[in-house]
């Protein structure tokens, strides 16, 4: 049987505005679009092309991408527009 790659649920988020660093636990089955920086209180949103704030600012990609690759995340299909 295929071995599931280990998924790291903890991500170190670095705020692009103030540089505040915080370790956060990611939801394993969903993407988080918004994140409020604990340093400057800015509401962060993903960079264009990224599915969630963890992919944009975190130390590791979000769990769906860790488990299934770039196409595994909920945001990927919407970005590309259509299934094959
Ligand atoms: Zn900040």
pLDDT for 82? 41
pLDDT for 81? 46
pLDDT greater at residue 79 or residue 6: 6
Distance 50 CA to ligand 1 centre (A): 19
Distance 34 CA to ligand 1 centre (A): 13
Distance 21 CA to ligand 1 centre (A): 8
Reported for 34-40, long-range contacts at CB under 8 A and 24+ positions apart, including other chains, are 39/15, 40/15
Q: What is the pLDDT of residues 24-71, one digit of tens each?
A: 999 887 788 999 999 999 999 999 988 899 999 999 999 888 888 877
């Amino acid at each position: 049987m295929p071995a599931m790659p280990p998924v790291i649920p903890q991500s170190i988020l670095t705020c692009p505005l103030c540089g505040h660093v915080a370790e956060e636990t990611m939801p394993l089955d969903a993407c988080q679009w918004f994140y409020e920086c604990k340093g400057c209180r800015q509401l962060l949103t993903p960079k264009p092309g990224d599915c969630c704030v963890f992919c944009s600012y975190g130390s590791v990609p979000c769990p769906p991408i860790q488990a299934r690759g770039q196409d595994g995340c909920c945001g990927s299909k919407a970005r590309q527009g259509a299934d094959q």
